[in-house]
Amino acid sequence: MAVGEQDADAQRVSLAGTGGVDPRQKAGRLSGGQRAQLALTVAAAKRPELLIFDEPAAALDPLARHAFLDDLIESVTELGAAAVLSSHALPDVERVCDYLIVMAGSRVQLAGEVAELLASHVRITGRHADLASLPAGAEVITPTDPTGRETTAVVRADRALPAGGPWSMAKVGLEELVLAHLARADRTGVRSSSALTEAHR
C-alpha cells in the first residue's frame, strides 16, 4: 500500500472515531445517526471543494440531528470547502446556513445572505390604510391578514422603515420569512414545491 493511501486510511479512521463510530463495526448495524456520520466521513476524506447534501438529517431523531449538523459544520470548516444543502427542515437551514435560496415551482423566489434577508424584512401591524403610506422601496410580501381593525403583513424594505410610523414593527424569523415568500409564490400561481438551499463557507 502506498504511503498516500495509508495516510488517507488513517484519516478516515480518525474522522470516524471523532464521530463516535467504531471503524470495525459493520455499516448495516449502525444507527441512523451513525450512518449519516459515516457518509459525511467518507465524503470529507476525499477532501472535496464542494459537498452537496439532500435532506441529510431527515430521518434522524432530534439528538442525532443536532450532533450531525455540528459535525457537518465542523467538517466543512476544517476542509475549507463549500456545501450546498437542500432541505425542507427550516430549523436545520437556520442553524447551518449563511446563504439562502428559496425555490418554488423550479423558480428562485428569494436569494441572499441570511443576515441581510432577515435585516431587510419586518412584520408590521396597523390599519389596512396604513399600508398605502409605506415609503418607496417597501414591498408587501404576504397578503394582509385583517384581525378586526388591524392588519398584519411581512414587508421587505430597501432601508429601515421610519420609527414612529402609523404601525408597530417586529423582527421576523427565518421560518416566517420563507413561508411569506412561498405564500406569495402560491398566490401568484407558482406551484409551491419548495426547496431550501444553502451554501456554507
Angle between helices 32-45 and 3-18 (to 10 degrees): 150
Give the up-direction half-sphere exposure of residue 166: CA atoms within 13 A in the CB hemisphere. 12
C-alpha to C-alpha distances, 137 to 134, 155, 196, nearest whole angstrom: 8, 10, 26
**Looking at the predicted structure, is the pLDDT value of residue 26 above 70?**
no
Is 178 within 8 Å of 196 (Cβ atoms)?
yes
Band of the pLDDT at 2, cuts 50, 70, 90? very low
Question: How many whole angstroms from its chain centre is CA 101?
Answer: 8
Band of the pLDDT at 133, cuts 50, 70, 90? confident
Q: Which amino acid is at 111?
A: A
Domains of the chain: residue spans and CATH: 3-86 (3.40.50.300), 102-200 (no CATH)
**Looking at the predicted structure, is the pLDDT value of residue 145 above 80?**
no
Name which of 33-42, 85-94, 118-127 the model is least confident about.
Answer: 33-42
Band of the pLDDT at 33, cuts 50, 70, 90? low
State how far the Cα of 52 lies from the Cα of 43, in Å rounded to an integer.
Answer: 10
Query: Residue for cell digits 427565518?
Result: 174
Q: What cell does 34 get?
A: 451513525
80 compared with 20, residue with greater pLDDT? 80
Is 57 within 8 Å of 89 (Cβ atoms)?
yes
> What mean pLDDT, rounded, does the chain reach?
77
81 compared with 188, residue with greater pLDDT? 81
Q: What cell does 152 get?
A: 398584519
Question: How many whole angstroms from its chain centre is CA 50?
Answer: 17
Strand 82-87 relative to strand 50-54: parallel, antiparallel, unpaired? parallel
Rounded-to-5 percentages of helix, strand, coil across the chain: 40, 25, 30
CB atoms < 10 A from the CB of 163, how many? 6
Q: What cell does 74 get?
A: 465542523
The mean pLDDT value for 134-145 works out to 81
Q: What is the dihedral of CA 81, 84, 90, 91, to 10 degrees?
A: -20
The mean pLDDT value for 107-135 works out to 88
pLDDT at position 22 is 61
Band of the pLDDT at 178, cuts 50, 70, 90? very high
The conformation of residue 138, written as its DSSP 8-state character, comes to E
Band of the pLDDT at 134, cuts 50, 70, 90? confident
pLDDT at position 167 is 82
**Looking at the predicted structure, is the pLDDT value of residue 195 above 70?**
no
Q: In the beta sheet, which residues pair with residue 51?
A: 83
